[in-house]
Amino acid sequence: MGFSFKKLAQGLLKTKENIVSKLKTAVGLHKKIDAALLDEIEEILISADISVETTGKVVDDLKVRVAKQGIDNSDEVYGLLKDSLTELFSFQSGDRSFFEVVPKPYVIMIVGVNGTGKTTSIAKIARRFMSDGKKVTMAAADTFRAAAIDQLSIWANRVGCNIVKGQEGGDSASVAFDAVAAALARGDDLVIIDTAGRLHTKLNLMEELSKVKRVIKKAMPDAPHRTLLVIDGTTGQNALQQVEIFNKLLQLDGIIITKLDGTAKGGAVFSIVDKFKLPVVLIGIGEQMDDLDEFNPRDFVDAMFA
Amino acid sequence: MFDSLSEKLEKAFKTLRGQGKLTEDNVRESVKDVRRALLDADVNFKVVKQFIAGVEEKAYGQETLRSVAPSEQIVKIIHDELVDILGGQNAPIEFRGTPGKLLLCGLQGSGKTTLAGKIALHYQKKGQRPLMVAADIYRPAAVKQLQVLGKQIDVPVFHVDKKPPQICAEAIEYARANNLTLIIFDTAGRLHIDEELMQELSDIKKKVSPDEILLVADSMTGQDAVNVAAQFNETLDFTGVALTKLDGDSRGGAALSIRHITGKPIKLVSVGEKLSDLELFYPERMASRILGMGDIVSLVEKAQETIDVKEAVKLEKKLRKEAFTFDDFYQQLQQLKKMGSLESILKMIPGVSSQLRNVDIDESQMKRVEAIILSMTMEERNRPQVLNGSRRARIADGSGTSIQEVNRLIKQFQQMQKMIKQMRGGKLKRMIPGNFFN
């Protein structure tokens, strides 16, 4: 059911300090909501890694709200800005929990550029499903990076789930295929596929991912049921390019944003949903196992402004 | 996604040429675009502010030059200023004694371990005997990862089951005992606000007193780069920065932010998946990249390396007098091919890289064009007008293509001939037979 509000607010503490303390200063300097204050708000949003484009949209929306409600007292800008930011997520219906999964096995494929935290996220997701009493198989389809298979194996061991692995340098698609086939045979509830990190600009490596996806379908025609892109929360404007290209090739179902603790600005959360209308399904706000959980837009924005 | 900065400025300045001086008004207009370009490139907004103020000051009152558009002039001022801040000359890595000691630190996932392997390989090639030290005891299989890399490049890896400062201290003994000349310490990724782990780094520094401490930074990092760099610098007073994942398409504004905040030079850049993909840092190129101007310097260098100047002069002379033939075209293709993949070449051209993301360049198309030309007789290559239906059918057969493809090539070729005729008189050098592959 997502993070408790307290935990979320705590995890986002630094991000919050970035946006809200700056906002407070700005509001302190301007009594009325005027062009100067809006300019400052624009800057504050951009400085949180929200894209220039999305920032423009949010500020425009804010202007409309100000005019419509006839407000000019700068103190009220918080509430309005919260609404404008939350509005970006209006397409994201919170219909079903990420952790309710049918059919069986439910296949999740995890992709992303190097170093975003794919493997660690997979461990956290697996542990969560395990504690819900589900049977999980991990697929170590990152056959490229040195010791990536060992890394996932250690996690599988700690979490206590199944793992299917191949040889380093082997064919990642066949590892994914074997994992799905094994899970089908065993009657597992879930398969989570780890893939090698790759920059979205490497066409041949991206093509390999499409192949993994195609081959999975041979084991189970409607799989993968979710293809999720992991984005590092400290990434700047390049996050949008990553989403664009991964989405074009793999038709993503959603985004996981990691490393939102620390002083990460997390603006990517807003830019991505605005530009691609792709749901953010999970966010990571710390290094502990339960620091990755469902994303709820309203809570997220509230926690930022709390 | 965005026009290149120079394109934008060109639009803004169309009417300005020859107006005498760069005034406050016309500078301010262009500065808005510069600001946006820098923000889009992930340069920290505070750094942008200070940077812009500096540029404005330099730009006011400069005479507009007759030979270049004011937009180009402003871009030049900005570019030079960027190069200046980014460090002018490239800063070398220096070791004070033997064994040399280099410590890598940074956030999780910035690419420290892979970089350790790259640096080891680089110095091994130069005749050093490197040792890599696995001091990341937190991430599962991090030690194993370094060991695997070590095996690939035949470099020993040191690790004992102790605390990281102790591991590093013992590594020095090990290096001395085994006559190794360079030690690379790979540490765990950590958040800059994690006091305990930052203290650990500081302890390692005390124990081994490294010659070089490099902050390893992901070139895709956003606004937060300044906080990370400032905090690591405060704790460690690092000696330089290594930028990773520069083979992606991020504009790399983090480089400018880090440099500006810490004053520390960027010493290395990591540009690919292979362990040999390590380069020195060139401020010029980084400045062009941040401004979205493409990497013209590298392109020109590449062209100079590979293109036979005599051939080029001969071709130009020929084109001034006679028609461009299929044979000339084939020669051009060969020159182009020597420079690398079409994709990598196009990416260096300003304004192209952003559009290119949506285009898949089909290198096999180039092979087909070659095959078609090679299936022509010399006469056909030099006098394309003789290419009638039966000749075309023969060529299609011979090259394993279709008549349609042969027809298309001939048609495009004729258009190109026409263009060359029109351009005769000066602009020849700009010709690139690129539209053949669309």
Which pLDDT band, with edges at 50, 70 and 90, does A99 fall under? confident
Between the alpha carbon of residue A198 and those of residues A205, B42, B77, B165, B215, the distances in Å are 7, 21, 36, 32, 22
CA gap B372, A49 in Å, rounded: 50
B121 and B260 inside one domain? yes
Q: What is the ipTM of this complex?
A: 0.89
Q: Is residue B296 part of a domain?
A: no
For B239-248, what is the mean pLDDT? 93
Q: Is the pLDDT of residue A63 over 60?
A: yes
pLDDT of residue B428: 42
pLDDT of residue B73: 73
Instruction: Read off the tokens for B354.
Output: 């952003």
- Count how many Cα atoms sit within 13 Å of the Cα of residue B291 in the half-sphere of its side chain: 31
CA gap B238, B198 in Å, rounded: 13
CA gap B182, B205 in Å, rounded: 16
User: B-chain residues within 8 Å CB-CB of A117?
Assistant: 108-109
> Contact A265/B222, CB-based, under 8 Å?
yes
For A268-272, what is the mean pLDDT? 91
pLDDT of residue A266: 79
Which pLDDT band, with edges at 50, 70 and 90, does B1 fall under? very low
CA gap A203, B145 in Å, rounded: 25
pLDDT of residue B294: 57
CATH number at residue B51: 1.20.120.140
Q: Is the pLDDT of residue B57 over 70?
A: yes
Range 94-133 of B in CB contact (< 8 A) with A = 107-111, 113
Determine contact, residues A127/A159, Cβ cutoff 8 Å. yes
Nearest residue of A to residue B140 by CA position?
A151
> Contact B147/A49, CB-based, under 8 Å?
no
Residue-averaged pLDDT of chain A = 90
Domain count within chain B: 3
> A19 or B259, which is more confident?
B259
> B67 or A302, which is more confident?
A302
B284 and B143 inside one domain? yes
User: What's B273-330 look like in SS3?
Assistant: CCCCCEEECCHHHHHHHHCCCCCHHHHHHHHHHHCCHHHHHHHHHHHHHCCCCHHHHH
Which residues are CB-contacts of A28 (< 8 A; sequence separation ≥ 6)? none
Measured CA angle at B252 (ends B193, A246), to 5 deg: 95
Which pLDDT band, with edges at 50, 70 and 90, does B426 fall under? very low
B37 and B148 inside one domain? no
Which pLDDT band, with edges at 50, 70 and 90, does B137 fall under? very high
State the CB neighbour count (10 A cutoff) for residue A279: 20
Q: Is residue B57 part of a domain?
A: yes
> B171 or B358, which is more confident?
B171
CATH number at residue B322: 1.10.260.30
pLDDT of residue B11: 57
B127 and B174 inside one domain? yes
Nearest residue of B to residue A154 by CA position?
B140
Instruction: Give the minimum alpha-carbon distance from A39 to chain B in angstroms, rounded to a whole number.
Output: 13
B332 and B394 inside one domain? yes
pLDDT, tens digit, for every residue of A187-196? Answer: 999 999 999 9
Q: Is the pLDDT of residue A220 over 90?
A: yes
% of chain A residues with pLDDT over 70? 96
Which residues are CB-contacts of A205 (< 8 A; sequence separation ≥ 6)? A196, A198, A199
Which pLDDT band, with edges at 50, 70 and 90, does B436 fall under? very low
Determine contact, residues B318/B424, Cβ cutoff 8 Å. no
> Contact B193/A14, CB-based, under 8 Å?
yes
% of chain A residues with pLDDT over 90? 60
Which pLDDT band, with edges at 50, 70 and 90, does B331 fall under? confident
Domain that holds residue B400: 301-437
pLDDT, tens digit, for every residue of A222-252? Answer: 999 999 999 999 999 999 999 999 999 999 9
> B58 or B404, which is more confident?
B404
Q: Is the pLDDT of residue A116 over 90?
A: yes
Instruction: Read off the tokens for B425.
Output: 């008189």
B279 and B148 inside one domain? yes
Q: Is residue B409 part of a domain?
A: yes
Q: Is residue B52 part of a domain?
A: yes
B336 and B419 inside one domain? yes
Which pLDDT band, with edges at 50, 70 and 90, does B32 fall under? confident
Residue-averaged pLDDT of chain B = 81
pLDDT, tens digit, for every residue of A202-219? Answer: 888 999 999 999 999 999
User: What's chain A look like in SS3?
Assistant: CCCCHHHHHHHCHHHHHHHHHHHHHHHHHCCECCHHHHHHHHHHHHCCCCCHHHHHHHHHHHHHHHHHHCCCEHHHHHHHHHHHHHHCCCCCCCCCCCCCCCCCCEEEEEECCCCCCHHHHHHHHHHHHHHCCCCEEEEEECCCCCCHHHHHHHHHHHHCCEEEECCCCCCHHHHHHHHHHHHHHHCCCEEEEEECCCCCCCHHHHHHHHHHHHHHHHHCCCCCCEEEEEEECCECCHHHHHHHHHHHHHCCCEEEEECCCCCCCCCHHHHHHHHHCCCEEEEECCCCCCCEEECCHHHHHHHHHC
CA gap A131, A162 in Å, rounded: 14
Q: Is the pLDDT of residue B76 over 50?
A: yes
pLDDT of residue A5: 75
User: A-chain residues within 8 Å CB-CB of B148?
Assistant: 146-147, 168
Q: Is the pLDDT of residue A11 over 80?
A: no
- Residue where a domain terminates, one of B262, B290, B318: B290
% of chain B residues with pLDDT over 90? 42
Which pLDDT band, with edges at 50, 70 and 90, does B70 fall under? low
B58 and B113 inside one domain? no
pLDDT, tens digit, for every residue of B363-400? Answer: 677 788 889 999 999 889 888 888 899 999 999 999 99
pTM for this entry? 0.79
- CB pairs A-B closer than 8 Å: 141
> B433 or B279, which is more confident?
B279
User: B-chain residues within 8 Å CB-CB of A144?
Assistant: 273
Q: A75-79, A210-214, B90-94, B245-249 — which one is most confidently predicted on average? A: A210-214
Between the alpha carbon of residue A237 and those of residues A92, A290, B126, the distances in Å are 22, 28, 38
- Residue where a domain terminates, one of B290, B310, B344: B290
Phi/psi-derived region of residue B400, left when phi > 0, alpha when psi is between -120 and 50, beta in every other case? left
pLDDT, tens digit, for every residue of B302-315? Answer: 555 566 666 667 76
B264 and B334 inside one domain? no
Q: Is residue B149 part of a domain?
A: yes
User: A-chain residues within 8 Å CB-CB of B218?
Assistant: 115, 232, 234-235
pLDDT, tens digit, for every residue of A16-60? Answer: 666 778 888 888 888 888 888 998 898 888 888 898 889 999 999
Which segments of B154-224 does DSSP mark as H helices, in order? 164-177, 195-208
pLDDT of residue A94: 65
B111 and B165 inside one domain? yes
Q: Is the pLDDT of residue B417 over 90?
A: no
Determine contact, residues B157/B147, Cβ cutoff 8 Å. yes
Which pLDDT band, with edges at 50, 70 and 90, does B293 fall under? low
List the single residue in A148, A238, A244 with the smallest CB-CB distance to B250. A238
CA gap B370, B363 in Å, rounded: 11
Q: Is residue B391 part of a domain?
A: yes
pLDDT of residue B180: 97
pLDDT, tens digit, for every residue of A137-185? Answer: 999 999 999 999 999 999 999 999 999 999 989 999 999 999 999 999 9
Q: Is the pLDDT of residue B347 over 70?
A: no
> B87 or A227, which is more confident?
A227
Q: Is the pLDDT of residue B427 over 60?
A: no
Q: Is the pLDDT of residue B429 over 60?
A: no
Q: Is residue B146 part of a domain?
A: yes
State the CB neighbour count (10 A cutoff) for residue B98: 14
B171 and B263 inside one domain? yes
Q: Is residue B375 part of a domain?
A: yes
Q: Is the pLDDT of residue B220 over 70?
A: yes
CATH number at residue B229: 3.40.50.300
pLDDT, tens digit, for every residue of A81-95? Answer: 999 999 999 887 766
Instruction: Read off the tokens for B316.
Output: 């130009």
Q: Is the pLDDT of residue B353 over 70?
A: no
User: B-chain residues within 8 Å CB-CB of A147?
Assistant: 141-142, 144-145, 147-148
- Residue where a domain terminates, one of B258, B290, B322: B290
Virtual CA dihedral for B429, B431, B432, B438, nearest 10 degrees? 170
B45 and B120 inside one domain? no
User: A-chain residues within 8 Å CB-CB of B144?
Assistant: 146-147, 150-151
Range 189-248 of A in CB contact (< 8 A) with B = 199-203, 232, 234-241, 244-245
Q: Which of B291, B290, B288, B213 is nearest to B254 (CA)?
A: B290
Phi/psi-derived region of residue A100, left when phi > 0, alpha when psi is between -120 and 50, beta in every other case? beta
